[in-house]
Amino acid sequence: MQETISVAALHKLVEAALSRNGFSAANASAIAAVIVAAERDGTRSHGLFRLAGYISEAGCGWVDGSAEPSLHDAAPGVLVVDAGNGYCQLAFERGRDRLVAKARANGSAAMAIRNSHHLAALWHEVEELAECGLVAFAFRNARPNMLPWGGQRKIFGTNPMAFACPVPGAPPLVWDFAASAMSRGEIMLAAQHGEALPEGVGVDAEGRATTDPKAILEGGAQLPFGGYKGSLLALTIEIMASAATGSLLSIEDRSAGVKGAQTANGGEMILAIDPAASGGESFGERMAMLVGALRGNGTARVPGERRYAARKAAEANGIPVDGATLDRVRAWARGEQP
């Protein structure tokens, strides 16, 4: 049965569920904000669905739910944040204002988050930066589940990347995608339902092309989107997120040997550019022209607008959530193990 819950009430509930299950108040609040934002915006694959993963990772000791990020000004335009083996949400929250200040003062700045975990989408972070008037990129590495183009050994995660840009008089243009042809969650769902996948999603344990989701998940490998170009992008995301932040590479990940672990200890790079410095006064006008050219252009869309529409509805009428799912969150919030 479907229930409707307000954004504020869901935040309180998720925060309580995390607080009772190994997370400090600061981490619980930061993570709850992102989980609730995903439910609010209709991107459920990063919403309540992920809560069990957070609780499992803190519970088994793989991730530190009470981590305190430490900030280091490495250069006028570089902020390094050591997440202390915690999730990126709090690391980003703690570093955000300083990154924004650096980008405004220097015109260009980077935040390198190392020693960190990520179980959420990246749009949340770049959207916040674009709301401050900055153009922003985010790059994140992950568990080594993907082959490079033409390769036989898995060396990349499904490595997500995100981008956001301010639009005058409108919410930011925002996108977020994985460098893999299909997300791991979708492959898992297909395996559960016994459905075949399209060609090009992955290979089996012998490296042969397959449409069987189980063969990909059990010893097989995922493939990048877009052939060799997507593979080059996955490599670049890997470099930006790990080597360039001082974090572990996907191939250094040891989470497979830890029961309850779901994420790699890796890194995230965020770049922020002030378009007022680089683009000057015409920036807003050109963004309006470009967004206008996307609108009413076949089925092309302005990236982010579907989420904003869902958000508006959720803020007015509450978020519709499956009742059994909510009951499970309530049980966690009471300290029970559902």
Residues numbered 186-215 forming contacts with a copy of itself, rule: CB under 8 A: 207
**Stretch in the footprint of a copy of itself (CB under 8 A) among 22-30, 48-56, 152-160, 319-327:** 152-160
Q: Which C-beta is closer to a copy of itself: that of 64 or that of 82?
A: 82
Local structure of residue 158 (DSSP, 8 states): -
The closest of 133, 144, 274, 163 to 221, measured between CA atoms, is 144
Helix 323-333 vs helix 7-19: crossing angle, to nearest 10: 50
* 294 is a site residue for a copy of itself (CB under 8 A): yes
* 274 is a site residue for a copy of itself (CB under 8 A): yes
Is 125 among the residues known to form the active site? no
Q: Tell me phi and psi for residue 272, to 5 degrees.
A: -130, 130
Q: Where are the alpha helices (DSSP H) in the chain?
A: 7-19, 25-40, 51-59, 88-106, 123-131, 184-192, 213-217, 227-241, 275-278, 283-294, 305-317, 323-333
3-state secondary structure of 226: coil
Q: Which C-beta is closer to a copy of itself: that of 59 or that of 226?
A: 226
**Stretch in the footprint of a copy of itself (CB under 8 A) among 20-28, 44-52, 55-63, 147-155:** 147-155
Q: Which pair of structure tokens corresponds to residue 147?
A: 């082959």
Cα gap 12→31, rounded to integer Å: 11
**Stretch in the footprint of a copy of itself (CB under 8 A) among 18-26, 53-61, 73-81, 323-331:** 73-81
The footprint of a copy of itself on residues 90-119 (CB under 8 A) is 105-110, 112
Q: Which of 4, 192, 278, 317 is close enough to bind a copy of itself by CB under 8 A?
A: 278
The footprint of a copy of itself on residues 311-330 (CB under 8 A) is none
* 151 is a site residue for a copy of itself (CB under 8 A): yes
- From the list 11, 46, 117, 118, the catalytic residue is 46
The footprint of a copy of itself on residues 48-67 (CB under 8 A) is none
- How many residues belong to the site for a copy of itself (CB under 8 A)? 73
The closest of 261, 255, 243 to 114, measured between CA atoms, is 243
Q: Which of 286, 306, 312, 334 is close enough to bind a copy of itself by CB under 8 A?
A: 286
Q: Whole-number minimum distance, CB 135 to a copy of itself, in Å? A: 6
Q: Are strands 170-178 and 160-167 parallel, antiparallel or unpaired?
A: antiparallel
Is 70 among the residues known to form the active site? no
Phi-psi region of 237 (alpha: psi -120 to 50; beta: other; left: phi over 0): alpha
The residues carrying an active-site annotation are: 45-46, 186
